[in-house]
Amino acid sequence: MNITHRPRRMRQTPGVRRLVAETRLHPADLVLPMFVVEGLDEPREISSMPGVRQHSLESLIIAAREAEDAGIGAIMLFGIPQRKDAIGSGASDPEGILARGVRALTKVTHLPVIADLCLDEFTDHGHCGVLDESGRVDNDATLARYQQMALTLARAGATMLGTSGAMDGQIAACRAVLDKAGLTDTMLLAYAAKYASAFYGPFREAVDSSLAGDRRTYQQDAPNRIEALRETRLDLAEGADIVMVKPALAYLDIVREVSDMADVPVSAYVVSGEYSMIEAAAANGWISRRAAILEALTGVRRAGASIIVTYWAVEVAKWLSERPVRHSNRHDDKHCPR
């Protein structure tokens, strides 16, 4: 056999595969979403997201310290209030649960704290903005509320604001009010390509959502890619420091296209439904849990995301810190799963 090119040489042992790996995960690439609930005395399991909890302020601090020790890149915080109203008053309350959670985190960790800037957890109708008389989300009235929320969270100490509400002009509105207040160092993470997705279901439980209906009039439509690139260009022009694609696993093509055109870091959010699908399949013995998680996150990284928001952040960071397994016979493939 006269075979000149033998690509299998590059795969013959774990050491060789590790040496030539084109894509690598690192703990610092990973961002952990966390949920803090007003009035909660102890952590509460989220039934549709095995292994993920809603936190009290006290347990939030403990979990944040564990996350920092694991070496992850940042924490993304969502707040769930006891009382909601039509305009989401609690979102801009300096003594509201989200602002209090941000302050608590900044006192106990050096990790960047990304505060979610959206009204959906705080409104009694569950939408991401203020409703007009016809029941539709009023884009410009919502921007005014986002500006109030941005000031509150920045003053609480948030490193970055995650503008997840999918309103037109939200980056420009927040940047303007922050700069006018002298808060020029507060970063803005634009949810530039945020799709109306079926994969958000478990998250609704995590934040005790009041939503009836859907958010298709302001989140992007799944069949569209040009729209995602346009939204990203607009957010970049408005001053976004980082752009995001959400969800991640079902939109890897968008992650790639956004990363090819953006001149800022690109993040991707492996959302609740994507998390729960893998957890459910693993719990049923249908897939290898650890291998599937690492493969999924590596795929997001390979597609171009330099930052990955994932509920597995701490666990995966610990895996990545482990030393490679030493094999007694480095030429024996029987040690490696096929």
Q: What are 79-116's pLDDT values in tens digits?
A: 999 999 999 999 999 999 999 999 999 999 999 999 99
**118 near 142, Cβ under 8 Å?**
no
Identify whether 246 is a catalytic site residue. Answer: yes
| Residue 70 domain flag | yes
For residue 302, give both structure tokens: 């390979």
- Give per-residue pLDDT as tens, 273-321: 999 999 999 999 999 999 999 999 999 999 999 999 999 999 999 999 9
Specify if 171 maps to a domain.
yes
More confidently predicted of 169 and 323: 169
For the purposes of burial, counting CB atoms within 10 Å of the CB of 24, is it exposed (0-12), middle (13-18) or buried (19 or more)?
Answer: exposed
Q: Are 273 and 201 in contact (CB under 8 A)?
A: yes
Q: Say yes or no to pLDDT of 325 above 70.
A: no
Name all contacts of 260-264 with Cβ < 8 Å and 24+ positions apart: 260/304, 261/229, 261/232, 261/233, 262/232, 262/236, 263/236, 264/236, 264/240
The pTM of this model reads 0.93
Catalytic residue among 84, 107, 180, 194: 194
**30 domain residue, yes or no:** yes
Would you call the peptide bond into 247 cis, given omega within 30 degrees of 0 as the criterion?
A: yes
Q: Which residues of 65-103 are buried (b: 16+ CB within 10 A; e: fewer)?
A: eebbebbbbbbbbbbbbeebeebbbbbbbeebbbbbbbb
As beta bridge partners, residue 55 has 36
Whichever domain contains 165, its CATH number is: 3.20.20.70
Q: What is the domain extent for residue 79?
A: 23-323
Averaged pLDDT of the chain:
94
| 332 within domain boundaries | no
Residue 99 CA to residue 102 CA, distance in Å, equals: 5
How far apart, in Å, are the Cα atoms of 141 and each of 15, 137, 144, 161?
57, 9, 5, 19
Cβ contacts of 135 within 8 Å, gap of 6 or more:
none
pLDDT band, very low/low/confident/very high, at 203 (cuts 50, 70, 90): confident
How large a percentage of the chain has pLDDT more than 90?
89
Residue 16 located in a structural domain: no
Residue 254 lies in a domain: yes
107 catalytically annotated: no
Residue 107 covered by a domain: yes
Residues 6+ apart with CB under 8 A from 270: 247, 248, 249, 296, 297, 300, 308, 309, 310, 311, 312
For residue 201, what pLDDT is reported?
Answer: 87
Count: domains in the chain: 1
Strand bridging mode 44-45 / 53-55:
antiparallel
pLDDT at residue 175, rounded to an integer: 98
- The helix, strand and coil proportions of the chain, stated in percent and rounded to the nearest 5, come to 45, 15, 40
User: Which residues, 6 or more positions from 338, have their beta carbon under 8 angstroms from its beta carbon?
Assistant: none
Report the phi/psi class of residue 124: left, alpha or beta, with left for phi > 0 and alpha for psi in -120 to 50.
Answer: alpha
Active-site pick, 84, 246, 318, 334 = 246
Examine residue 6 and state whether it is found in any structural domain, yes or no: no
- Per-residue pLDDT at 139 exceeds 80: yes
